[in-house]
Amino acid sequence: MSKKNTAVIPSSEQEIIDIVAKQHDYFKTGATKSYQQRRESLLKLKAALIKYEPEMHTALKQDLHKPEFESYLSETGFSLHDLSTTLKKLKSWMKPKWRFTSLLTQPGSSHIHYSPLGVNLIIAPYNYPIMLTFSPLIAALAAGNTAVIKTSELTPACSAITRKIINETFVPEYVAYIEGEVPETTVLLEQKFEHIFFTGSPRVGSIIMRAAAKNLTPVTLELGGKSPCIVHDDAKIDIAVNRIVSGKFLNAGQTCVAPDYVMVHKSIKEAFLAKLKQRIMSTYGEDASLSPDFARIVSDNHFQRISSLIDPAKVLVGGQTEAESRFIAPTVLRDVVTTDKVMADEIFGPVLPVLEYEQLEEVYQLVDQLPHHPLACYIFSESATVQQEIINKIQAGGACINQCLLHAANHHIPFGGVGESGMGAYHGFDGFECFSHKKGVLKSVTWMENPLTYAPYGNKINILRKFMK
């Protein structure tokens, strides 16, 4: 598969400076803050996504060879579902949230007021270029902000349709799209934003964080990590295999929450591997390059990196590669050990190492010795005790029990990393909160006085001690 060249016209340094300045001025007018404005903006975006859905699917096919089903499931459909949820809930999200008022601060009442942060920078990655652009944008607009969007240069067709949607839907002082690559991103990071939302690798995340620190800009970092998948001896193997294959090979493994490796109990290892091989063959056929349901690697560099992780001596199934089309077959490596190259960093491709264990303590030790906190943890077990033990023992951004990936599709729970896999969370109300300042407000009554804290203090300290116990 050859990638069609799509021209990218870099934004000039002055253009970037001017856009950010205009957004600051526009935000100060208060035009973005009303419920009506937020709702109208989201409705316009929804109409644009519906209008350009076929073009987005074509772009995803061009950049990543994504099947239309995957494009809708994880990109356009996901974004539209996010929009629908946000539109239904926005009015209730914006309402002040009442809190308890302590005795010391009585008589009065307390609440949380959600204020927009201001001008936000959203930097999207290549693996889900539509969803990971529009999902944070939806949250930013719902919270009453402006936004500057920068997408990945590795997906030029998707960038082109994203630019088209943004330019047709919004004025640039409200939502702006910036063209370019590393130089333009560098200029952007030199500007003053109220918040930076970045999705990508831990390596680039550290660069973003260092740049943000110069302006004391808060960041949300949605990064990655080696997400473990534990298949315990009491797991329903057929169910586990079906869900692991689906979760691992979606988008050719280029999913930040894909199962990075499987740890399977020694007693069921051979049965698990046999069913895993059978499932991959029945899903993608003898030659997965002919399957209409399998994507491709985004770039030559990533193709070379992932291909180099495949040890031919350990291939159970797959292992075939084709450089011109950037095809890497769904591959399983058996009898993997922690010193193998494939275990050194996040794979981010269609290669699944399988390791064995006998005691759960071996699982915990392995996860702890790997370089990054997992973004997700997947547990296949019928035991509630085992499930809860693993949830308690493994520090991960999120988790699924007897499932893969789908926690990230539930807009009613937060999605985010922990430690090196990220900071902050979003989706649904958590996305609204991510792009809002939670302003604590105390409202005191005027129909009576509480003179306790007024001088002269005299012997009031004895009363104060009672209030503050």
What amino acid positions are annotated as catalytic residues?
A: 222, 256
Phi, psi of 333 (to 5 degrees): -105, 125
Rounded Cα distance, 56 and 297, in Å: 18
Amino acid identity, residue 180?
A: G
Determine contact, residues 442/454, Cβ cutoff 8 Å: no
- Alpha-carbon distances, residue 298 vs 47, 218, 323, 379 (angstroms): 29, 30, 12, 29
DSSP-assigned letters across all residues of 49-118: HHHTHHHHHHHHHHHH---HHHHIIIIIHHHHHHHHHHHHHHHHHHSPEEE---GGG-SEEEEEEEEE--
Rounded Cα distance, 429 and 85, in Å: 9
Amino acid identity, residue 88?
A: K
Burial of 403 (0-12, 13-18, 19+ CB in 10 A): middle
Strand partners, 437: 115
- Residue (of 342, 253, 259, 260) closest to 305 by Cα position: 342
- Alpha-carbon distances, residue 92 vs 88, 96, 147 (angstroms): 9, 9, 23
DSSP helix/strand/coil, 10: coil
